[in-house]
Amino acid sequence: MYCVGSVAGFYAMSRAGMLRTALAAETSLRELASAKGLLYGCANSPDRLTADPVFARLVAEQCSLLVPENSLNWKYVEPRYGEFDFHLGDSLATFAKDRNMKFGGGTLVWHEGLPQWFSSLPPPSAKAAMVNHVTQVVGHYRGHAFSWAVVNEALAFRGQGAMLKDTPLLRLAGPDYIEAAFRAAALADPSALLVLNDNHLEYDLPEDDYRRDALLKLLQQLVGKKVPIGALGIQSHLRTGDVPFSSSKLKGFLDSVSDLGLKIVVSELDVAEKGSEATVADRDNAVAKEIDRYLEVILQEKSVVAVVTWGLTAKYTWLASYAPRSDGQHVRPLPYDSELHPTAAWQALATAFARAPAR
């Protein structure tokens, strides 16, 4: 077993890449997380797992949790009202089961995942359609899903004048659509961890301050109404470039969420490169340091049960098209690079798990 040192110390070593490779070969993120009672997982799509067996082996070796990146979004699962297509989700769930990994489902209710037909329904039918969707999909995986991202990105942004985002879900399924979705999910599978997932909660920025406050109010309301919500999913799309970060604000927020009796899941961790670093080593260090300072706070919180990265390797990442580098270099936002070699981000995750208190 190797000894995990500080991230800064590690990066100062010579031949850091070779050492990382050696360490990653000796142990896995799933083992390091598991030693602390945590799950480590990644989002994925079944076509990549089928087409790229080397990558598939890496996923199974490093991850104890597998979640869909897109496959279980509403528009793919129920492309026509009442017609369900589970083949993509089933492929992921089977991959996970065969490799002793947990499977997490989602996203059930997300305005960007809606099928076109939803928006032409009259309000009473829209709510019934949403409840039916949640019931059928969660029911299909009953007893097999560790967790569900039940509602995603429901919170409005600062200055929008309302707590909830103005979406077809709010307009058609009604202001209690979140509550209805969670109640349907709990009935369909009482054993799954039901997650409310949202973003822009991580930094010391006015927007994130606003959203932490608003989300706490929303969670307080839901818990007060005994809505069967089990966890907050904090997406954790981080970025380099010295974005203001406050350990105490983040910790205060996580404490308040825990005090409501909720678990916390880091649900979509990755790091967009927004800094001025130019060499691969400097870029990797910046990404790793961002993960390091973030997880140092997050993993102190005992109610955090899982860390999921949004992908595992730079070979397959939404950031390559969504946040490409201006110099044309391929992004490096995850624990493995495009050649499936561990990056400094792998070491940052390993270090964070190793120093986390057990839960």
Please report, as ranges, the residues that interact with ligand G3I according to CB under 6 A.
69-70, 107, 112, 152, 235, 268, 318
Max CA distance (Å), the chain: 64
Q: Report residue 144 as tokens.
A: 């097999």
User: Is there a contact between 291 and 22 (Cβ–Cβ < 8 Å)?
Assistant: no
Phi, psi of 237 (to 5 degrees): -80, 95
- Say if residue 226 is exposed, middle or buried (CB neighbours under 10 Å; 0-12, 13-18, 19+): exposed
Measured from the CB atom, the residue of 87 and 225 that comes closer to ligand G3I is: 87
Taking the complex as a whole, how short is the minimal distance between the CB of residue 332 and ligand G3I, in angstroms?
17
Residue nearest to ligand G3I (CB): 318
DSSP string, 244-287: ---HHHHHHHHHHHHHTT-EEEEEEEEEE--S---SHHHHHHHH
Closer by beta carbon to ligand G3I, 268 or else 290: 268
Round to whole Å and give the CA distance between 299 and 305.
9
Q: Which is nearer to ligand G3I, 69 or 284 (CB)?
A: 69
What is the closest distance, in whole angstroms, from the C-beta atom of residue 140 to ligand G3I in the complex? Answer: 20
7 versus 88: smaller Cβ distance to ligand G3I? 88
User: CB 268 → ligand G3I: shortest distance, Å?
Assistant: 5
201 within 8 A of 154, measured Cβ to Cβ: no
Report residue 307 as tokens.
């860390």
CB of 75 to ligand G3I, least distance (A): 9
Task: Give the three-state DSSP class for 102.
Answer: strand
- In whole angstroms, the minimum distance from the beta carbon of 317 to ligand G3I comes to 8
- Dihedral sign (CA 178, 148, 346, 9): positive
Nearest distance, CB of residue 41 and ligand G3I, angstroms: 14
C-beta of 268 vs 292, nearer to ligand G3I? 268
* Of 107 and 303, CB closest to ligand G3I: 107
